[in-house]
Amino acid sequence: MSLLPREGVEVASSLAAAVLTVGAALAMLALATSGVFGYFYADGLTRTMVITISSIYLTSVAYSVFYLKRIKEPLIRFRWYYSLLDLFVFTMLLAVTVNDLGFVWIAVEATTVTSALLVALERERTSVEAAWRYTLLVSAGLVASLLSVILVFYSQGTLTISVLLTRTAASDLVMAVAVGFALVGYGTKAGIAPMHAWLPDAHSEAPSPVSAMFSGILLPTSIYALLRTFVLLDGSPAFEAMRNLLIGFGVFTALLAAVIMGTQRNYKRMLAYSSMENMGIILVGFALGGVGAVGAVIQVVAHAFAKSSAFYEAGNILVAFNSKSMAAVQGVIGRLKVSGSLFTLSCLAVTGAPPFGVFIGEFLIISQAMQAGDFLVVVLLAVAYVYTFVGLNSQAIRMVFGQRPPLQEDGSAQPGLQKESWLSIAVPLVNLTVSLAIGLYMVPEISQAIAGAGL
């Protein structure tokens, strides 16, 4: 429908599709849908992913209406943009609902094909270069996860997730190697270090609604795919070793992102590294299991809403200042009163400030690590947490409340084409509120975790 060559149809059809998707996701949640449905499979994790993907889809389509006005020479027509956005979401939804590891791989790989042109939409040399790097690096990395699929089939004789989950733990070494390949492949797409090279480029060069979708839902979709292979080892002798491998990669990712974040000059790149840090911690949470896995699920959802809000606000700032440079963007609050405040709050939310949902997630993950006696993990995660919190928020506060520089004629800090509108404020505000509501709703989980960890 979005492809119809009539003005306004593309937005209306994408919005309608997004609303229907959110409706279906809410119905899945209300009915607690689980089990096998033909080619599909659903459990609690599936439902969480579906509602998160659909919600960010809806808000990104809505925000696109505002943001796309700044793009004068797009790489593709806007009706193609909306169609690819729809297809991109379709592939992500397929990845988290299909009952076959082979099709999970195909869907994750298809997210690259459907989203590559979205990254390059602004048709600048940097955005096209970033899109190319994204396509090539992610596709090359995902080859490893295809090997993982082949090895699972070799070992188990089936790729059907519901069947694989009912089997007793797969104890052979082939499965352990399969998890290793899945980590490299899906880890590349999830921005797990050291396979993360594409992530900061694509996040910073994509239009803000696309950056929000990449950070909020694409990265967790890849972690979901990795998890579906990893859990097959649960209870086997190789599980402990692979679990430690995942924790190691997760901690390394969080620490590396925290360190690099402080050196950024581009605020969208800074947010991209924050996503990487969050994915590292989420991976650790899932690998730890127990309360840590609950924390990881909470963090996936809360981070998706908070980070999308931050990227929408970054879009508002870009529209108003026409620059992604932090040096050129100072005194945001003077020009964008609401967006400046919301950007500051969003940055606090994504870095785990209480009582936002990300804080609850990170708290539960660290509690689980403490409960399991992994004190080195606790210390390293705490270092990453503090470093990120201080690094990102101090830069954000400097941007929002810093001295406003005089406008220059060489292109930096020029006045933008548009100011904030009700739409550009309402969309991030809704997402930030959801992230806060998740945090407030999940507060009881903290007391349980404290009791469990013996704090």
Partner 1 sequence: MAVVPTISADILGLLGIVILLSALYMQGQTFVDPTIRAISIQSFMLTTLFSVLFVQSGDLNLLYLAGVTAVVRGVLIPTVMLRQVQAFRHSLRETGTAQRIPSLVILGVIMVIGGYAVFRAVLLPILPNPLISVPFVLLLLGFLLIVTRRNALMQMTGFLEEENAVLFAGALIAPSIPLLIEFAVVLDILGVVLVGVLLSATRNVLQTLEAPDLEQLSG
Catalog residues that contact partner 1 under the rule CB under 8 A. Answer: 75, 102-103, 106, 109-110, 112-113, 116-117, 120, 123-126, 128-133, 135-136, 139-140, 143, 146-147, 149-151, 153-154, 159, 172-174, 177, 200-201, 204-205, 260, 263-266, 269, 324
Q: How many CA atoms lie within 13 A of 281 on its CB side?
A: 41
**Closest CB to partner 1 among 149 and 294?**
149
Query: What 3-state class would DSSP assign to 245?
Result: helix
* Chain center to CA of 110: 17
Angle between helix axes 78-97 and 101-119 (nearest 10 degrees) is: 160
In Å, how far are 95, 96, 366, 369 from 376, measured between CA atoms? 34, 32, 11, 9
Compute the least distance from the CB of residue 3 to partner 1, in Å: 17
**Closest CB to partner 1 among 329 and 449?**
329
Compute the least distance from the CB of residue 113 to partner 1, in Å: 4
**Closest CB to partner 1 among 140 and 417?**
140
**Closest CB to partner 1 among 274 and 299?**
274
**Closest CB to partner 1 among 36 and 423?**
36
Residue with tokens 């709703």: 441
Whole-angstrom Cα distance, residue 277 to residue 387?
Answer: 11
Compute the least distance from the CB of residue 135 to partner 1, in Å: 6
**Closest CB to partner 1 among 269 and 303?**
269
Compute the least distance from the CB of residue 385 to partner 1, in Å: 22
Asked whether 26 and 152 are in contact (CB, 8 A), the reply is: no
Compute the least distance from the CB of residue 115 to partner 1, in Å: 9
**Closest CB to partner 1 among 119 and 366?**
119
Dihedral sign computed on CA atoms, order 178, 287, 203, 67: positive
Angle between helix axes 375-401 and 337-350 (nearest 10 degrees) is: 170
The DSSP-derived string for 384-436 is: HHHHHHHHHHHHHHHHHHSPPPPP-SSSTT---S----HHHHHHHHHHHHHHH
Compute the least distance from the CB of residue 132 to partner 1, in Å: 5
Compute the least distance from the CB of residue 128 to partner 1, in Å: 5
